[in-house]
Structure 1
């Protein structure tokens, strides 16, 4: 599988050469604050993502960082420090992906202004 993505302005582009284990929707407070709602992403080993352009990294906690475009601010990546894996934003992908959301995570932190009613697993 090969997936391509980019930020809103095109200054950062990336290619995913591996197959993600699963696509998830994260409802944690940090994802909601970064995206304005919830974040849909998938993870692969870091070696399976090729990034072109400058990514600015924000250390969101002691255990994780988030990568974004320093020009347009698009949130593109998430990484648990020391894991060797990297998450990428499904919304940044171009063209058909063949991916489908498989579950919702951190649902206890979701906003009170919406319901999750798609029947997918919730954690």
Structure 2
């Protein structure tokens, strides 16, 4: 038999067996409703569902969306998302709507907006930004 202690049950991202991770994008004007005054809604969601969640402070690149990271058992995550949807569907979006386009993925700021960490095979396929125009001139 092979017994593991609790630390050994965690994967490299800190999740235990049976736990999952879900990332949900919400409009930046809705982020405050997910967080609540002084973090009260996040605390309530954690206590009510048992899911862990974090709302990243920065919008995803070139978008008006912020990432909500949820961790826990699948049924707890689903319950938490259902509550978030019920809250947000009653609140109108304020401001421009610019959905996140993965083409603008930026590995340099993933910690700020919650993007996925690239693996060793990652190749940034976004064309490099050019500082100068095109043309032949001479």
Task: Name the TM-score, length of structure 2 as normaliser.
Answer: 0.26
Query: Of Structure 1 and Structure 2, which has the larger fraction of its residues in helix?
Result: 2
Bigger relative contact order, structure 1 or 2 (CA pairs below 8 A, ≥6 apart): 1
Task: Name the TM-score, length of structure 1 as normaliser.
Answer: 0.28
Query: Of Structure 1 and Structure 2, which has the larger fraction of its residues in strand?
Result: 1
Greater C-alpha Rg: 2
